[in-house]
Copies of this chain bind each other. A is one copy, B any other.
Amino acid sequence: MEKDKTRPESTLDLRVWIRLLDCAKMIEKRLRRNFEDQFGTTLPRFDIMATLDRAREGMRMGELSRALLVSNGNVTAIVRQLLDQGLVNSQPDPEDRRSAIVSLTPKGCDQFRVLAEAHHGWVREALADFSEENQQQLLALLTQLKSSIR
C-alpha cells in the first residue's frame, strides 16, 4: 500500500527524522503550555535558568548561547527579561570588559527549584507509559545519534 515494499531502506532515514521531530514537538508543546499556564513563564527562560543553575559562579553570554544551541542575539533578549525580573545578575568580567558574567540571584535560584520540580514532573508524566527499559535503549541510541550527526 506504500512504496516501503519496493525500497524500504531508501526512506528509513527520512522516517526516523520525521518521527523524531514529531515526538519532540509533541512533548515540547506540552511543556511550553504548562510553563505558561502554571507559572507565566516560558521554556527558553527556564532553559537559561537551568543552565545557569549548573554554573553557580556564573557564565558568559557566549557560553550560554553555545550551551543552549541558540544564537547570540537571542540570549541577549531573554537574559534581559530575567534581569528585569531580578532572577539573574549581570556583572562585567574583570578580565575581559567585552564580556558580562551572568548568574542566578538567590531569588532566581529559589524560583528555579520550583520550576525544575514541576518540569521534571511533566516530563515524567509524559513518558510514564514508556517503559524504563525502552527509555534506556532510547537514551543510548540518541546519545550515539547525537555524536554521529555531522
Which residues does A use to contact B, with CB under 8 Å? 9, 11-17, 19-29, 69, 120, 123-130, 132, 134-139, 141-146, 148-150
> Taking CB as reference atom, which chain B residue is nearest A148?
B129
Interfacial chain B residues near A9, Cβ < 8 Å: 132
A39 to chain B, nearest CB (A): 18
CB-defined contacts of A20 to chain B, threshold 8 Å: 20, 23-24, 27, 138, 142
A30–chain B nearest beta-carbon distance, Å: 8
Besides A12-B132, A23-B146, 17 more A-B contacts (Cβ < 8 Å) are A13-B120, A14-B123, A14-B124, A16-B139, A16-B142, A17-B27, A17-B123, A19-B139, A21-B27, A23-B142, A25-B69, A27-B149, A125-B150, A127-B145, A134-B144, A137-B141, A141-B141
Number of this chain's copies in the complex = 2
The answer to whether B123 and A145 touch across the interface, beta carbons within 8 angstroms, is no
Nearest CB of B to A59, in Å: 18
Among B127, B136, B148, B150, point to the contact of A17 (Cβ < 8 A).
Answer: B127
